[in-house]
Amino acid sequence: MRKTWLWTLIGMIGLAVISYALFLWLLPPALPEGFLYGNGRIEATEVIVSAEVGGRVLESALVEGRTVRANDLLVRLDETDLKTRLKQAEANAAAAQRAQVQVEQQIVTARHHVQTADADLARYRKLRETGNVSAQMLDRTENQQREARGQVETLTSRQAQAAASREAAQREVELLRSQVGKAVIRAPAAGTILTKGIEAGELAAPGSTIAVLADLERIELRIYVPENEIGKIKLNDPARVRVDAFPQRYFEARVARVDQRAQFTPKDVHMPDERARLVFGVVLAVDNPEAYLKPGMPADAWVRWKPEASWPDKLTVPR
């Protein structure tokens, strides 16, 4: 009975030793001296292209993953309604212009009448002083002079209204001309189409998303470094990045920015030292000439902070 118990104890100890040895054998090696590890998600500066005017999509060159250059056609909207409205607005502007010119001509005539009435009134007042003109005749001349001046005032008011109407009509013309030009939507910058927001034949509303573009040759990865390690990081330190989609490939990178303030460790970020609470964000500029890396991809990164350290053949994720 005692021997059975002893052999059982020896077996348990042996199993424990083997398990611990296996754990140590499977444990990833520690980071080499001169390197820091971090992880995060690939980011890119995205440009949301929106419709500034409404209309049905007549032509679309949107293909997700397609590379475009600045000013390349993305979408062409139906301009029929806009052009109809523009034609009517141009007719209204022309009519307003003619109305203003007519009023201005009437003012010229009315002012001539005022000059004549002023001269007649001055002459009749002198004649009245000598008794050669009756009081009724003088009153009638004064009334004519007041009517002439009142006509000028009325026409001047109409002139201001006509000018305001012409300016409003011209603004409408300019707005519609601008909108007609905006029915053709082009790429504001070079990049890759990440998302297409509309299909040919669909109706685009003003402000609706047409596409999302990003320059995939200029992407970034934000990692987090513990507060007690951040002093090792310098701008332009070299780094290497790896994603699950290409596990055998490392993408070259460099330290582009370092946050000036620490923060608590984000919940979705793995830290080798779980005691780390305060961390600094470090942004890596990643080379992506073939556009393999896409926004949102989780990625691991290793930063070489010691210049004389040699890159190991294989980089591992510390646990």
Any idea how long the chain is?
319
In CATH, what number does 49-78+186-209 get? 2.40.50.100
CB atoms within 10 A of CB 294: 17
pLDDT at position 303 over 80: yes
pLDDT for residue 4: 65
Pairing label, strands 263-264, 278-287: antiparallel
pLDDT for residue 262: 85
In the chain, the percentage of residues whose pLDDT exceeds 70 is: 87
Identity of the amino acid at 198 = I
Residue whose token pair is 């991809």: 297
b/e per residue 168-199 (b: at least 16 CB within 10 A): ebbebbeebeebbebbebbbeeebbbbebbbe
pLDDT for residue 136: 87
Tell me the C-alpha to C-alpha distance, in Å, between residue 89 and each of 55, 96, 169, 185, 204: 19, 10, 7, 23, 23
Residue whose token pair is 């080798």: 272
pLDDT for residue 22: 45
pLDDT for residue 155: 86
Quickly state the pLDDT bin for 20 (edges 50, 70, 90). Answer: very low
In the chain, the percentage of residues whose pLDDT exceeds 90 is: 45
pLDDT at position 17 over 60: no
pLDDT at position 69 over 90: yes
Question: 265 with 279: CB under 8 angstroms?
Answer: yes
pTM of the model: 0.63
Q: What is the mean pLDDT of residues 80-93?
A: 90
Q: What is the mean pLDDT of residues 4-24?
A: 55
Q: Where are the domains of the chain?
A: 49-78+186-209, 80-182
